[in-house]
A and B are shown apart, each in its own frame.
Chain A
């Protein structure tokens, strides 16, 4: 051992090393991988990790955003600006048939909207491009069924997850074998917690969508949540009820399905502070989780991330 060398890593450095290893393993072993980019904070962290994994080169795989057509406007403009700046190979896919039929959460409800514009759209895109591996930014601490999912999560030809028939996953040796049509969803952030993600964003200065920070915004109380009056597709009767409140979003998705929290947190430090004393866990601001008992597990079996 030489002079002043230190051989210990902090938890974040260890998580970072683990995630980079996972990302490189996919690039090395799959023919046609893709990184799913949701524009959220976890995606932003995952993207930074991919940049680190291949530095001084660039990631060898494209990014793909599944656009439900009901995302917050600020998300889309963030995506486009950032992608242009960084020169990403970005694929944007939406369910054209669903869009033509005018599927949306206000008219069809969250269940139908999520199924057609998110799950079906994702499956269409995966089929179209024949991706054999897709990265997702999900974390095991988010939700109970995710806590049991593998980092390399096998999907059959119908993109379905079988929680009872998962491949054993030991040490850091990942089984990447698939037959034609089968694929693997890969979750490099599996072992990160929400606090870890915020810490990393803070330490690395990673740009995120401004919606995460508190600001005066017009919101409407709808389905037991404060929903942003983001565009004119919100029914007039609702829009009329909009109030200005200082709010922020803990997660980002389709604006009619994502509840805001009242907050003064306009810096990462304040967000973390708020989070530490918070009374509601992250996913409760997502309306889709409440649809039915064990709903996330059901969605994952059907092919949703």
Chain B
């Protein structure tokens, strides 16, 4: 590039540089194929290596290099210490270089099968892939695997670089045979644009300059091809997809919806539909720091204002009313398992697709695909680097297209709900309508049914009822006002839309505990049964209000254990015994005369709770305090 500068005025250079476009490419192959040497050569020959880096490179080559006396270009690329020592590239490394015509970002990924996920990662943002083949070995299993992954990730342009031609005496028939072999392999895959180049990375033949050693090859050198290949038509400019990323409300009246176009052209004045509300409006303006625009296209990041005031939030999508994506909870996808931990089919995953997040589960694995043979087989779950076709159900509808039509709206990631790692990534297929997808009871659910476990989760119940199952346990002397508080609380919660059950001693003694008497043991058993009932109801999201004298602190502690401490709320009616007698004179009279036994406060002690959640009495009891207590517990 030094020469370019000298030949050109710097201003002219900068103006030309400004206009260059960007090509993102993936290099697939292993160290043995000379991949790092090839990349090192591209960087070196385009003068992207500075002298100090070169000096370090020469030093490192002698010390830890694997290229004998030559410069080991691979050392330039392998960033991390551990990798340098092992002589392999483990992760995805990104490299940058530019020529007169273009800027390039190289995603450099390792070639071995155990690094499939790294290659998939690098491929996800690439427009083009260079697949390296060794001229002596031809199309081998690894080449096929790389090609499959490239087609899986929807890369439309492939350059097959047949390297090490120097070791086959630059023979044309060797090259031709490899080309034919490859062409017959890819008839099964969807790659529209394939090029073949014979080269020697080590000697720089056909890398930057056309080779004089292979006059039979009439095509461009690798760099020429990279500079000239047409990629801009790869984006979808037809179907408008504008996922709302951020709602911008800087004050005053401005209300903008920021986002990055995922498809189609957005124009001022266009009619729009908002998903999922399906409300309509028009584009009022497309706002930007550099002024307003008349139109915007992918992958621009803009801010839009609408003619009408509609409630729109992050995760919504703006589309043209006559061109909708699929709006579904149920779809098929190709999934790549990225996690060290194998897939647990019983997990609910977090899904992220465009700007939308939610819950998802894998309903069925249709098949697993062998990345080397493309052979399909059945499986129960996926392990690291395994790929297969699955049926997914999400908790709320997503707005998507097939990955083939739009990479942005057709891709998603699954996040492990416990570790938060990105455990899988997927590409949506929409060949089968959701009506025809397998039953909505997943394998996981079949398993649950077999075990007699509910198919509804606590979260789903909470979301549906707008509450969490809890028990309000009201304790106090006979006549202290327990039922009064309990029944008013029940009515109040009912009015607020809650699902609530009232339980008191009388109801339970009549039926459930009719076999029990009032001995200490039976009183404990009676309360144990009540607590088990509460636990069951709470587990199903229902609020219980229990009114029981329950005089013994130790028993109350056991009740809390059964029901679950966080959802057990103890209310103490601390009304004095004289006031209680005044309120309910009959029973006290009977107990005092000895006709009735075991009445707390008379012949059985009442132990006041040490740590009630709330205390009140007959004459001073604001049930709103209990309502607040329940709501704050959410």
Contact = CB atoms under 8 A, between A and B. Distances in A.
Interface in A158-199: 163-164, 166-173, 175, 177-179, 190-191, 193, 195-196, 199
B288 to A, nearest CB: 7
Contacts of B5: 273, 276-277
Contact of B299 (A14, A140, A277): A14
B300 interface: yes
B360 to A, nearest CB: 14
A102 B214 CA distance: 67
Nearest to B235: A7
23 contacts: A8-B232, A12-B18, A16-B301, A18-B299, A20-B301, A28-B314, A53-B258, A58-B250, A147-B93, A168-B425, A170-B425, A172-B125, A175-B420, A177-B415, A190-B94, A195-B98, A199-B14, A203-B18, A272-B14, A273-B10, A280-B50, A280-B52, A281-B50
Contacts of A170: 120-121, 124-125, 411, 413, 422, 425
Interface in B249-277: 249-251, 254, 256, 258-260, 265, 267
B136 interface: no
Contact of B254 (A28, A57, A195, A196): A57
B102 to A, nearest CB: 8
Contacts of A203: 18
Interface string B404-427: 000110011101000011100100
B283 interface: no
Given A53-B258, A170-B120, A145 B80 contact: yes
Contact of B92 (A1, A51, A148): A148
A191 B105 contact: yes
A173 B18 contact: no
A99 interface: no
Contacts, number: 203
Given A9-B21, A171-B408, A199-B18, A281 B53 contact: yes
A272 B13 CA distance: 10
A52 B289 CA distance: 5
A284 interface: yes
Contacts of A163: 80, 82, 91
B545 to A, nearest CB: 34
Contacts of B258: 24, 53-54
A277 B1 CA distance: 8
Nearest to A192: B96
Contacts of B149: none
Contacts of A234: none
Contacts of A270: 10
B378 to A, nearest CB: 26
A199 B20 CA distance: 12
A244 interface: no
A31 interface: no
B420 A7 contact: no
A269 B411 contact: no
Contact of A5 (B92, B235, B265): B265
Interface of B: 1-2, 4-6, 10-11, 13-14, 17-22, 50-53, 78-82, 84, 90-96, 98, 102-103, 105, 117, 120-121, 124-125, 232, 235, 237, 245-246, 248-251, 254, 256, 258-260, 265, 267, 287-290, 295, 297, 299-301, 303, 314, 338, 350, 352-355, 407-408, 411-413, 415, 420-422, 425
Contact of B11 (A53, A56, A269): A269
Given A144-B79, A175-B415, A269-B14, A57 B248 contact: yes
Contacts of B21: 8-11, 14
A278 interface: yes
Contacts of A58: 250
B289 A147 contact: no
A177 B300 contact: no
A9 B299 contact: yes
Contacts of B245: 21, 24-25, 28
Nearest to A5: B295
B250 A195 contact: no
A223 B249 CA distance: 52
A297 B81 contact: yes
A171 B91 contact: no
Contacts of B248: 54, 56-57
B260 A21 contact: yes
A21 B51 contact: no
B20 A167 contact: no
B79 A177 contact: no
B22 A173 contact: no
Interface in A5-55: 5, 7-18, 20-21, 24-25, 27-28, 51-55
Contact of A193 (B10, B82, B96, B422): B96
Contacts of A18: 299, 301
Nearest to A21: B260
Nearest to B338: A168
A89 interface: no
A91 to B, nearest CB: 21
A199 B51 CA distance: 23
B250 A140 contact: no
A172 B78 CA distance: 24
Nearest to B232: A8
B363 to A, nearest CB: 22
A155 B102 CA distance: 35
Nearest to A163: B80
A174 B96 CA distance: 22
A54 B250 contact: yes
A144 to B, nearest CB: 4
Nearest to A141: B96
A279 B52 contact: yes
Nearest to A18: B299
A202 interface: yes
Contact of B288 (A24, A52, A175, A272): A52
A28 B246 contact: yes
Contact of B18 (A10, A141, A279): A10
A294 interface: yes
B605 to A, nearest CB: 45
* Of listed B1, B14, B259, residue having the most chain A CB within 10 A: B14
Given A7-B297, A57-B254, A173-B412, 11 more contacts: A5-B295, A16-B301, A18-B301, A21-B299, A24-B258, A55-B303, A173-B354, A173-B413, A175-B413, A272-B10, A273-B5
A232 interface: no
Nearest to A284: B52
Contacts of B20: 10-11
Contacts of B355: 25, 28
* Of listed B90, B246, B251, residue having the most chain A CB within 10 A: B246
A285 B2 CA distance: 21
